């Protein structure tokens, strides 16, 4: 099966892709294109999958840059390919031939590009990172390399949708303590719980930060098991582990 790669017109000529789980070498609960080296999947299968992604991005596998994602607002400036994965949740670069990659399984993968300045970024934005400012920090880091945020486009890839994201009242309280305007991203759920709109928050934060254009691809990871991995769906199904989707961008 061939790879399925979702793209956005907003990112224009910049080579990029939100890869689905189709077209990979993994099996079992990881069936498909699991790119998570931190999963319990067979390492050889994951390496094959990552090599296929690198080929699709037209870079050697060693130029598929990654970070050790820790749900932070930290951004790593990539200047060269490296085997090390610094602790961060976003990357930026102005170096051609390096592909920035982010892994997700419900959290938001966000790709950024200012083609005129020749600067790109990629962020892993779960609820904690989004709340703490990882998207704004990515734009700040891109500006240090010469990007202009009003000329930068940002696209949120497949993420868990509000309909599938049930949270408790303490989760709601964490957001209200920071900004009461965040109430707009919560809908009343069953038995005193809420439905949280993570992509809605991501778009709001991007636009408030002054990005030139932003959109969500409107793919829900939880709702489409044939195409996407989902941590929450795997948890509900009592599966031992789950695959990781990859999103990439390169100059």
pLDDT in tens, 163-184: 999 999 999 999 999 999 999 9
For residue 191, pLDDT over 70 is answered with: yes
pLDDT, tens digit (0-9, with 9 covering 90-100), for 202-224 = 999 999 999 999 999 999 999 99
User: Model confidence at 83, in pLDDT bands (50, 70, 90)?
Assistant: confident
Q: Are 214 and 9 in contact (CB under 8 A)?
A: no
| Backbone phi and psi for residue 245, each to the nearest 5 degrees, phi listed first | -80, 155
CATH 3.60.140.10 corresponds to the domain 5-161+197-250: yes
Q: Where are the domains of the chain?
A: 5-161+197-250
Residue 1 confidence (pLDDT) = 66
The tens digit of pLDDT for each residue in 91-109 reads 999 999 999 999 999 999 9
Residue 226: exposure state from Cβ atoms within 10 A (0-12, 13-18, ≥19): exposed
Residue 175, phi then psi, degrees to nearest 5: -75, -40
The string over 90-104, giving b where at least 16 C-beta atoms fall within 10 Å of a residue's C-beta and e elsewhere, is: bbbbbbeebbbbbbb
Tokens standing for residue 214: 């932003």
Asked whether 249 and 118 are in contact (CB, 8 A), the reply is no
With 80 as the cut, is the pLDDT of residue 80 above it? Answer: yes
Q: State how far the Cα of 61 lies from the Cα of 178, in Å rounded to an integer.
A: 41
């Amino acid at each position: 099966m061939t790879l399925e790669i979702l793209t956005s017109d907003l990112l224009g000529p910049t080579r990029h892709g939100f890869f689905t789980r189709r077209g990979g070498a993994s099996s079992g609960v990881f069936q498909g294109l699991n790119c998570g080296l931190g999963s319990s999947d067979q390492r050889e299968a994951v390496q094959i999958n990552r090599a296929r992604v690198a080929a699709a991005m037209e870079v050697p596998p060693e130029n598929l840059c990654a970070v050790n994602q820790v749900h932070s607002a930290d951004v790593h400036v990539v200047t060269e390919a490296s085997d090390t994965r610094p602790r961060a949740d976003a990357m930026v670069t102005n170096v051609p031939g390096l592909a920035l990659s982010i892994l997700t399984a419900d959290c938001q993968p966000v790709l950024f590009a200012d083609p005129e300045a020749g600067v790109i970024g990629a962020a892993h934005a779960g609820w904690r990172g989004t709340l703490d400012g990882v998207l704004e920090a990515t734009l700040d880091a891109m500006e240090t390399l010469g990007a202009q945020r009003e000329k930068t486009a940002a696209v949120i890839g497949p993420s868990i949708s509000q309909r599938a994201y049930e949270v408790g009242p303490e989760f709601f309280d964490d957001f209200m303590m920071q900004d009461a305007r965040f109430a707009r991203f919560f809908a009343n759920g069953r038995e005193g719980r809420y439905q949280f709109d993570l992509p809605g928050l991501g778009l709001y934060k991007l636009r408030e930060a002054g990005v030139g254009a932003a959109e969500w691809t409107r793919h829900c990871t939880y709702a489409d098991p044939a195409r996407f991995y989902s941590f929450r769906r795997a948890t509900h199904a009592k599966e031992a582990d789950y695959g990781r989707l990859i999103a990439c961008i390169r100059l």
